[in-house]
Amino acid sequence: MLYGPRTPVPSARPLSLSREGGGVACSDLPSLCDASELRASPASSGALGGRVLLDYPPTAPAPLACQLFIVPSPHSTNLPSRASSGAEADLVERAFERARQSPRRRHLAFAAGNSERLTHYLFRYPAKFHPPVVRQLITDLTGDGELLYDPFCGSGTLLVEARVAGRHALGSDVDPLAVFISAVKSRPLAERRLRRDLGALMPALVAHRRSAAEYERLQFDDIARDECASQLDSLWAPAIPNIEHWFRRYVIVDLARIFCAIHQAPIPETSRRFFWLVFASIVRAASNADPVPVSGLEVTSHMKRIDAAGRVIDPFALWERAAEKAIRDMGAFHTAAAPGIRASAVTADATCLPASVKRREVAAIITSPPYHGAVDYYRRHQLEMFWLRLVWDQQQRLRLLQRYIGRTKVAARHPLVRAKVGLPAPEAVVEQQMREVDASRADAFRHYCVAMGRVFGQLARVLKASSPAVLVVGHSIWRGTALNTSDLFAELAGPYFRLEEVLDYPVKNRYMSYARHNGASIDHEYVLVLRRTKTAAT
Ligand SMILES: C[S@@+](CC[C@H](N)C(=O)[O-])C[C@H]1O[C@@H](n2cnc3c(N)ncnc32)[C@H](O)[C@@H]1O
């Protein structure tokens, strides 16, 4: 074994190596407090917990014959300036160079208590940014009046915070509901004006609301199908497949009444969109689906029990309560928003951005990419998408499905699965290991890696040279396989970006964070600060 020059050489006893899975595990590390990496020749290695797993093909010669390089961390005080000579020394030199270049690590300090509501709570969006973290990142990494971009904008947290901080913002997302939410939440409207427009809307709502006694009765006894059809006669209701599974019939009528009242109210379009967002925010609570799970959409046995025991669903009351809060929050945002600043949101697939986005010269990207297997946004948003007429039929919705990154099931014929693209070495090994157990799981993983690789290529085209791309991520376990998302993204971004810094912070609000029902630790999130390289291969 060869240790790097001037690293503290541990006791003479050899490391104990054993075969494990598709590689070799080294569980008896010498006490090198400085060791940041172990590297095996010819294969690469990755650190897992306190051990090191060497990717070494089981068919290869005995691993004890391989050379291990123990590389001190960049903070080490005894980094060598140069190695002696010869091929081995060259290898060691390169390993040390990598160590010198490895990213800085630190905790992200942010003012958690200083969190204004603004419009952040107008819609419960899973895995959204923690606003104080975004605020801190904007302050630390960007300048006044710069253009910031979030290619996975979700509910528009970055856009809202950017407007308050005096930065222009552009958001895009493949999910049309996300784009709608982002656009409405990041457009400040004065509270006085919204109250006036609410006044214009209320008479239509009051006229159609049922009595309290009727709602009491309807908790056990829904209206008949023909009665529902006649009540819907002059209204519009969406073509949601199997709609009666998702809503009681009278609820469909009530939601249609609220929707039509907003549609016909004599109010400006901006206020109408605001009230539609309020409408979208109550659809789930008015449905039969369980409001708690963040990752998908399901009428759980728990909800069936609650409904059987009696549940009053009054969509009008839900809407009015939500509108009251939303108006107050929007008023606060209107007061806080910096003057002369623009924010906009567009529908776009981050793997192939449209020219309108690519034309923009972005000073910084701040985003949180979707996880694989964490939140099924496509399924989760289906009721709201139909009600807001963002999709009209199932065919249209199915076409959208192909575009989402992070799905657990992706057809083997999907162009990104079939693409003749080699994954970076560590991901290729993971893919191969998965494929031996479960081909569909390997396809989904491959889809995720290829798609994210393309995303980095697109982001490099939008971002000015040497500018930062900041990714908020969490580590996860994907169906039993540990995945270090920071390493994964650093590898995939490699051709275009250099990983400069890794920040971490503890996660408090689990709903705001990633929904990982897959056994992963959810108590920390990480911020990767990537820097676009000058010579990015775009
Ligand atoms: C973690 S969420 C972002 C949440 C956001 N930061 C917020 O504060 O609300 C990830 C987003 O990626 C979007 N997404 C998934 N695949 C995409 C694709 N191919 N292109 C663009 N957006 C995509 C999802 O719709 C989801 O909104």
Find, among 146, 103, 110, 140, the residue nearest to 364 by Cα. Answer: 146
Q: Is 56 in the pocket of ligand 1 (CB under 6 A)?
A: no
Higher pLDDT, 350 or 81: 350
* Least confident residue range of 135-149, 198-212, 248-262, 468-482: 468-482
Q: Are strands 35-40 and 17-20 parallel, antiparallel or unpaired?
A: unpaired
Find, among 488, 494, 501, 499, the residue nearest to 537 by Cα. Answer: 494
Fold of the CATH domain 110-175+342-373+408-532:
Rossmann fold (3.40.50)
Q: What's the pLDDT score for residue 351?
A: 97
Nearby residues of 188 by Cβ (< 8 Å), 6 or more positions away: 163, 330, 333, 334, 337
Does 39 have pLDDT greater than 60?
Answer: no
Is residue 183 within 8 A of residue 163, CB to CB? The reply is no
* Least confident residue range of 90-99, 203-212, 333-342: 90-99
Q: Is 129 in the pocket of ligand 1 (CB under 6 A)?
A: yes
Does 521 have pLDDT greater than 70?
Answer: no
Q: What's the pLDDT score for residue 30?
A: 37
Average pLDDT over residues 460-483: 81
At residue 138, φ and ψ (nearest 5 deg) are: -60, -45
State which of 26-30, 260-264, 309-313, 373-377 shows the largest mean pLDDT: 260-264
Global pTM reads: 0.82
Cα 197 to ligand 1 centroid, rounded to whole Å: 32
Higher pLDDT, 430 or 87: 430
Q: What's the pLDDT score for residue 372?
A: 79
Q: What percent of the chain has pLDDT over 90?
A: 62
Sorted by where each begins, the domain ranges of the chain are 17-102, 110-175+342-373+408-532, 191-331
Cα 471 to ligand 1 centroid, rounded to whole Å: 12
Average pLDDT over residues 234-258: 96
Q: Is 126 in the pocket of ligand 1 (CB under 6 A)?
A: no
Average pLDDT over residues 48-58: 37
Q: Is 351 in the pocket of ligand 1 (CB under 6 A)?
A: yes
Closest atom of ligand 1 to 157 CA is 8
Average pLDDT over residues 64-92: 39
Q: What's the pLDDT score for residue 202?
A: 97
Q: What's the pLDDT score for residue 57?
A: 40
* Residues facing 504 on adjacent strands: 107, 526
Q: What percent of the chain has pLDDT over 70?
A: 75
Is residue 14 within 8 A of residue 28, CB to CB? The reply is no
pLDDT digits (tens, 9 = 90+) for 11-34: 323 344 444 444 444 444 433 323
Which residue in this structure is represented by tokens 């010498």? 30
Cα 320 to ligand 1 centroid, rounded to whole Å: 29
Nearby residues of 177 by Cβ (< 8 Å), 6 or more positions away: 280, 381, 384, 385, 388, 390
pLDDT band, very low/low/confident/very high, at 427 (cuts 50, 70, 90): confident
Q: Is 231 in the pocket of ligand 1 (CB under 6 A)?
A: no
Closest atom of ligand 1 to 405 CA is 16
Residue 173, judged by CB atoms within 10 A of its CB (0-12, 13-18, 19+), counts as buried
pLDDT digits (tens, 9 = 90+) for 113-129: 656 899 999 999 998 99
